[in-house]
Amino acid sequence: MAELRRDPLTRMWVVVTTDHPKGPSDYLPFKPPYQLQDAEGACPFCPGNESMTPEEIFSTQEEGKGWSVRVIPNKYPFFRIEGEFDRRPDGMYDVMEAIGAHEIVVEAPEHHQNLAFMEPSQIRRVLLAYQERLIDLEKDRRFIQFLILKNYPGLFNRHPHSHIIAMPVIPRRIDEEILGILDYYQRKERCIFCDILREEMSGRKRIIIETGHFLIFSPFASRYPFETWIVPKKHRPDFHPLHEDEAEDLSIAIQSLFLKFYKLLSNPPYSLTFHTSPVQERFHRPEYHWHIETRLRIGLREGFEWGTGFFVNPTPPEDAAAFLRKMESD
């Protein structure tokens, strides 16, 4: 049999296979969904080629070694920083200019890198760069939502990098989360994420890593095999004031998690994304609980999910967590 599990946050039902679940060996030998060749010619993100990119916005520097993390505007942005919103009707429809910012964070000087093998101190520099940029971008009052997104491998360039996007609207997924959080708050006067943390820490079936500041676990209604959430134990709506010791803790946890993935599923492609409260006084939500969601890009049934809005997950989160928990991370 399979189970229908309801995500308590968004109330979405997910089919989770429980009687003949798929384990790691069912996904191996792993076939990447696409083969990416290194582009011919020089990589614009490599040291020495800085002139190939738009002007640097931010960087961290190591004494005598040059930059360690570098932030630049995306040459091919989805959102542009110049211009007016021009919110207007188009017949019965609504439209506006896509004003926003789209920046690239070059995560390391090395061209080939995986979070699995990055020094935690380097991951920490990347987290710091995210924060610095969010603090700066928040000053532009046109931006109400930040998204931080990383794909491994990158879709257009293998050099490790992530995207920071500042948007004038709240995207669907964050909106759904906020609705779920507010609805739960109204009924219980508690944060649903704080309750999920308590539930997971009492049952422990879906925990992968627990650190002083973060819980890393497979969510109950995982939409994807090995979907994983990294949730701070302390309720805080925004990612961007991350304290020193939290940043250190988080960077060690991230490296451990992705090393587990690397070993368990032989270097799978993955995506991770930071979910944080909208910003600006009018939109900011103190009830929000920031977190990171990660997904392996394996075993997709994207036609089915697109067609039905219904996710089918052949690897129950309890199994996924058990496999990952047991996998050594050093």
297 forms part of the interface with a copy of itself (CB under 8 A): yes
Rounded Cα distance, 237 and 288, in Å: 5
CB count within 10 Å of CB 317 equals 26
In 3-state terms, what secondary structure has residue 15?
strand
For residue 267, state whether it binds a copy of itself (rule: CB under 8 A): no
The DSSP call for residue 300 is: -
Going 24 to 30 to 31 to 33, the CA torsion angle's sign is: positive
* Residue from 71, 165, 230, 259 binding a copy of itself (CB under 8 A): 165
Shortest separation between residue 283's beta carbon and a copy of itself, angstroms: 14
> What is the amino acid identity at position 248?
E
Q: Is 78 in the site for a copy of itself (CB under 8 A)?
A: yes
Q: Is 92 exposed, middle or buried (0-12, 13-18, 19+ CB in 10 A)?
A: exposed
Nearer to a copy of itself, 9 or 247 (CB): 9
Site for a copy of itself in 311-330 (CB under 8 A): 312
Q: Does 139 bind a copy of itself (CB under 8 A)?
A: no
CB of 121 to a copy of itself, least distance (A): 25
State which of residues 80, 111, 142, 213 lies at the interface with a copy of itself (CB under 8 A): 80
Q: Is 302 in the site for a copy of itself (CB under 8 A)?
A: yes
**Minimum separation from the CB atom of position 9 to a copy of itself (A):** 11
- Which one of 54, 66, 171, 286 is in contact with a copy of itself (CB under 8 A)? 171
- By CB under 8 A, name the one of 65, 172, 187, 282 that touches a copy of itself: 172
CA 130/CA 46 separation, integer angstroms: 19
CB 242 within 8 A of CB 291: no
One-character DSSP codes across 238-279: -SSS--HHHHHHHHHHHHHHHHHHHHHHTS--EEEEEE----
Tokens of 285: 């939500």
Work out whether 295 is an interface residue with a copy of itself (CB under 8 A): yes
Our finding on whether 284 is near a copy of itself (CB under 8 A) is no
Q: Which is nearer to a copy of itself, 24 or 316 (CB)?
A: 316
* Near a copy of itself by CB under 8 A: residue from 54, 66, 203, 212: 203
| Token pair for 263 | 């070993």
If we measure between CA atoms, which residue out of 9, 168, 12, 14 comes closest to residue 95? 168
Instruction: Choose the stretch contacting a copy of itself; rule: CB under 8 A; options: 116-124, 192-200, 260-268, 276-284.
Output: 192-200
Tokens 């940043």 — which residue? Answer: 247
Q: Draw the binding track, 102-131, toward a copy of itself (x: CB under 8 A; -: no contact).
A: ------------------------------
Angstrom CA distances, 179 to 152, 169, 291, stand at 30, 15, 16
Footprint of a copy of itself (CB under 8 A): 1-6, 8, 10, 12-13, 15, 33-34, 78-80, 83, 90-98, 147, 149, 151, 155, 163, 165, 167-169, 171-176, 195-196, 199, 202-203, 220-221, 271-273, 293, 295, 297, 300-304, 306-310, 312
